[in-house]
Structure 1
Amino acid sequence: MEGRVGRTALLVAAARAIETHRPDSLARDIYAEHFVLAAPASADWPVRIQQVPDGDANPLWGRFARYFGLRTRVLDDFLLRSAHEGGVRQVVLLGAGLDTRAFRLDWPPGCVIFEIDREGVLAFKHQVLDGLPAAPNAARVPIAVDLRADWAASLTDAGFDTAAPSVWLAEGLLFYLSSAAETHLIDTVDRLSTGGSALAFEVKLDKDLLEYRDSPLYTSTHHQIGIDLLSLFNREKRPDSAGALVGKGWTTAVHTPFDFSRRHGRGPLPERNDALAGNRWVFANKRRRTRP
Structure 2
Amino acid sequence: MVGTAHRDTGIGEGVARTALMIAAARAIETHRPDALARDGYAEHFVLAARDAAGWPVRPEQVPDGDANPLWGRLARYFGLRTRVLDDHLLRSARTGIRQVVLLGAGLDSRAFRLDWPPGCVVYEIDTLGVLRFKQRVLDGLCAVPKAVRVPIGADLGTDWAGALTGAGFDPGVPTAWLAEGLLLYLPAAAERRLVDTVDGLSADGSTLMYEIKLGLESPESRDSPLYASAKEQIGVDLLTLFDEEPRPDSAADLVGRGWSASVRSPFDFTRRLGRGPLPEPRDALAGNHWVFADRPGR
d(CA) in 2 for partners of 1:147 and 1:205? 22
- Equivalence for 2:51: 41
- Superposed, 1:55-94 pairs within 5 Å as 55-84=65-94, 86-94=95-103
TM-score (norm 2): 0.95
Partner of 1:83: helix, strand, or coil? helix
- Equivalence for 2:162: 153
- Whether contact under 8 Å (2:185, 2:243) holds in the other structure is yes
d(CA) in 1 for partners of 2:282 and 2:218? 12
Q: Which amino acid aligns with 1:17?
A: A
1:18 aligns with 2:28: yes
d(CA) in 2 for partners of 1:229 and 1:53? 20
- Equivalence for 1:194: 203
TM-score (norm 1): 0.97
Q: Which amino acid aligns with 2:152?
A: I
Give CA-to-partner distance per residue, 1:178-225, whole Å, 9 cap, x none.
000000000100000011000000000134454412101111111111
- Superposed, 1:1-292 pairs within 5 Å as 1-84=11-94, 86-289=95-298
Partner of 2:211: helix, strand, or coil? strand
Aligned residues: 288
Once superposed, which parts of structure 1, at least 4 consecutive aligned residues long, lie more than 6 Å away? none
Q: Which amino acid aligns with 2:234?
A: I
- Whether contact under 8 Å (1:209, 1:230) holds in the other structure is no
Q: Which amino acid aligns with 1:160?
A: F
RMSD across aligned positions (CA): 0.9
Give CA-to-partner distance per residue, 1:5-37, whole Å, 9 cap, x none.
221000000000000000000000000000101
d(CA) in 2 for partners of 1:239 and 1:216? 27
Partner of 1:41: helix, strand, or coil? helix
Partner of 2:23: helix, strand, or coil? helix
Query: Could you list the runs of 5+ residues in structure 1 that have no partner in the other structure?
Result: none
Q: Which amino acid aligns with 1:30?
A: G
